[in-house]
Structure 1
Amino acid sequence: MSDNLTSADRPENAPAHCPGVSSESAGKAAPCAGCPNQGLCSSGAGRAGPDPDLDRIRDRLAGVRRKLLVLSGKGGVGKSTVSVCLARAFAAAAADDGQVETPVHQQPQLQVGLLDVDICGPSVPTMLGLLGETVHQSADGWSPVYADESLAVMSVAFLLASPDEAVVWRGPRKNGLIKQFLRDVDWGQLDYLLIDTPPGTSDEHLSIVQLLKSAGVDGAIIVTTPQEVSLLDARKEVNFCRRLGVPVLGVVENMSGYVCPNCTRKSDIFPATTGGAAAMCKEFGLPLLARVPIEPGLARALDQGQCPIDTMPDGSETMTAMRLLVDQLRTALP
Structure 2
Amino acid sequence: MADSACSSCSQSGSCSDTEKQQCEQEHAKKKMADNLALIKHKILVMSGKGGVGKSSTAANLALALAETGAKVGLMDIDLHGPSIPTLLGLEGQHPPVEDDSMVPVERNGLKVMSIGFLVANADDALIWRGPVKAGVIQQFIKDVKWGELDYLVVDCPPGTGDEPLSIVQMLGENSGAVLVTTPQKVALVDVRKSVTFCHQVKLPVFGIVENMSGFVCPKCNEVVDIFKKGGGQKMAADMTVPFLGQVPIDPRMVDAGDNGTPVVESAADSPTAIALKEVAQELMLRCINPGGGTADLAE
Fold-level match, TM-score > 0.5? Answer: yes
CA distance in 2, matches of 1:155, 1:309: 21
Q: Is the 8 A contact 1:255 1:292 kept in 2?
A: yes
Structure 1, residues 149-205: CA drift from partner, whole Å, max 9, x if none?
x20000000001122222222222111101110111010111100000000000111
Q: Which residue of 1 aligns with 2:97?
A: 137
Closer, same or farther in 2 for the Cα pair 1:263/1:90, shift >3 Å? same
User: Displacement of 1:333 after TM fit?
Assistant: 2.3
Looking at structure 2, the residues matched to 72 and 270 of structure 1 have their Cα atoms a distance apart, in angstroms, of 20
For these two proteins, the number of residue pairs brought into alignment is 265
Instruction: Give the C-alpha shift of residue 309 in structure 1.
Output: 2.9
Residue 259 of structure 2 is aligned with which of 289, 304, 318?
Answer: 304
Contact 2:268–2:274 under 8 Å retained in 1: no
Query: Who is 1:268 aligned against?
Result: 225
Call closer, same or farther: CA 1:278–1:146 in 2, change over 3 Å: same
Any runs of at least 4 consecutive aligned residues in structure 1 with deviations exceeding 6 A, and if so which? none
Q: Which secondary structure does the structure 1 equivalent of 2:33 belong to?
A: helix
Shift of 1:140: 5.5
Partner of 1:325 in structure 2?
279
Q: Which of 179, 193, 196 is residue 222 of structure 1 equivalent to?
A: 179
Give ranges in structure 1 of 5+ residues lacking alignment: 1-47, 94-108
Alignment match of 1:87 (pick from 62, 83, 108): 62
CA distance in structure 1 between the partners assigned to 2:211 and 2:219 by the alignment: 21
Q: Which amino acid aligns with 1:128?
A: L
Identity percentage of aligned residues: 47
Q: Does 1:238 align with 2:195?
A: yes
| Greater Cα shift, 244-253 or 136-145 | 136-145
Instruction: State the 1:269 CA deviation.
Output: 4.3
Matched residue SS, 2:238 = helix
- Once residues 55 and 284 of structure 1 are traced to their aligned partners in structure 2, the CA distance between those partners, rounded to angstroms, is 37
Give the TM-score, by structure 1 length: 0.76
In the other structure, the counterpart of 2:168 is: 209
Unpaired runs of at least 5, structure 2: 1-21, 289-299
Q: TM-score scaled to structure 2, two decimals?
A: 0.84
C-alpha distance in 1 between matches for 2:235 and 2:262: 31
Q: CA deviation at 1:125?
A: 0.6
Secondary structure of 1:333's match?
Answer: helix
Q: In the alignment, which residue of structure 2 is the partner of 1:146?
A: 106
1:265 is displaced (CA, Å) by 3.3
Query: Could you report, residue by residue, the CA deviation over 1:52-107 in whole angstroms, capped at 9, with x for unpaired residues?
Result: 333321111211111111110000000000000101101111xxxxxxxxxxxxxx
Distance in 2 between the 1:287 and 1:125 partners?
30
Instruction: Report 1:4-43 matches (<5 A).
Output: none
Partner Cα separation in structure 2 for residue 212 and residue 244 of structure 1:
12
Shift of 1:298: 1.7
Cα RMSD for the two superposed structures = 1.7
2:74–2:111 Cα contact (<8 Å) kept: yes
Report the AA paired with residue 134 of structure 1.
H
Work out the CA distance in 1 between the residues paired with 2:177 and 2:243: 13
Residue 74 (1) aligns with residue 49 (2): yes
What residue in structure 2 maps to residue 289 of structure 1?
A: 244
> What CA distance in whole angstroms lies between the structure 1 residues aligned with 2:74 and 2:205?
19
Indicate conservation of the 8 Å contact 1:258/1:266, yes or no. Answer: yes
Aligned partner of 1:193 in structure 2 is: 152
Structure 1 185/76 Cα, relative in aligned 2: closer, same or farther at 3 Å?
A: same
SS in 2 for 1:66: strand
Return the match for 1:165 from 106, 118, 124. Answer: 124
Secondary structure of 1:206's aligned partner: helix
Alpha-carbon separation, structure 2, partners of 1:309 and 1:160: 28
